[in-house]
Amino acid sequence: MRVSEAELAEIEGVARVETMPHEEVFKLVAQKHQPTYTSEEVYGDFCTLQTYVNCPPRDTFDYLADMHSQEEYTYSVRDLEPVDDSGLYVGWDKLSGNTRIYVRIDSNPDAMTADYHAAWDQGEDLWMIYLFRVVPAETVLKKPGSVILWTNCHHPYYDKNPYPELAPSPDRQWVGQFWDQFYPGHLIELENIKAILEYRHSRGIPIVATGEER
C-alpha cells in the first residue's frame, strides 16, 4: 500500500518536489556540499571503493567468489585451508604476525555479490564483513568489462576487540587500529584485483586457478 502524500508531508526531513520549491532544494544541496571533508566525514562508518576492470562480469564474479583468490590479491591473507565442510576457512593474516583469520564467503551468482564474513582469532563470530558487487560495465558505462563495488561498515568491534583472550600476544595490534587506513589499503588490493584480472583476461589465462595450479 502506497503511503499517502499527507503522511509523507508530515515526516520531518523528507525533501520532495511536492513540499519543497526548487530554489530551496538547491540551497539544501549547496549546504550539504563542502569544498573539503575530514577523513572521519568520508570514512567514519562506511568505506566504499569502486573501479572498472576490463574483464567479463562473470569471470570477475567467479574470481571474487573463490576463497583462494584472497591469497593473490590481498596484501596479507595467506594459506587458507577448510576448517570443516561448512565453507569456513582459516588462514594467516600476516599484517599482524601470527594472527589467525577465519573466512566464509556467501556468494550469489544471480546478483553477482560475494560477501566475505571474517574475523581474527576465532571463527564463531564472523563480524568483519566485506561486501562485493560486480556490475556489468556494459550496463552502466556502455563498454565491455566489469565495475566492482566494495564496501566495509564500521562494526563496533573495530573499536574494541571482543575476544582479547584469544589474541596470540597482548601487544598484537588490533585490526580496528587500521580503520583510518582501510580506504587506501583496500584501494591497493582493489588495484591488485584489477591488474590480475586484466592480465589474465587479455592473455586468455584462466581467471580462477585450479587446484593443481595453486
Residues 159, 199 within the same domain: yes
Number of structural domains the chain divides into? 2
Do residues 130 and 189 make contact, with C-beta atoms less than 8 angstroms apart?
Answer: no
Q: Is the pLDDT of residue 211 over 60?
A: no
* Grid cell of 103 as nine digits: 573466512
Output the nine-digit C-alpha cell for 2: 502506497
196 and 111 within one domain:
yes
Spatial neighbors of 175 by CB under 8 A, at least 6 apart, are 96, 120, 128, 158
144 Cβ partners below 8 Å, 6+ apart?
54, 56, 137, 138
64 with 100, same domain: the answer is yes
State the Cα–Cα distance between residues 191 and 69, nearest whole angstrom: 14
Contact 155, 125 (CB under 8 A): no
User: Contact, 155 vs 127, CB < 8 A?
Assistant: yes
Same domain assignment for residues 3 and 95: no
Whether residues 11 and 97 share a domain: the answer is no
Residues 3, 51 within the same domain: no
Q: Indicate the DSSP class of residue 173.
A: P
Sign of the Cα pseudo-torsion (173, 176, 181, 186, in order): positive
* Structural domain for 136, as ranges: 38-213
**Exposure letters 27-39 (e unless 16+ CB within 10 A, then b):** eeeeeeeeeeeee
pLDDT per residue as tens digits for the range 118-147: 999 999 999 999 999 999 999 999 999 999
Do residues 111 and 17 both lie within one domain?
Answer: no
- Based on the fold, state whether residues 12 and 72 are members of the same structural domain: no
**Are 43 and 121 part of one and the same domain?**
yes
Q: Is the pLDDT of residue 212 over 70?
A: no
User: Do 70 and 131 fall into the same domain?
Assistant: yes
What percentage of residues in the chain have a pLDDT greater than 90?
Answer: 74
Give 179-195 pLDDT, tens digit per residue: 999 999 999 999 999 99
**Same domain membership, residue 95 and residue 66:** yes
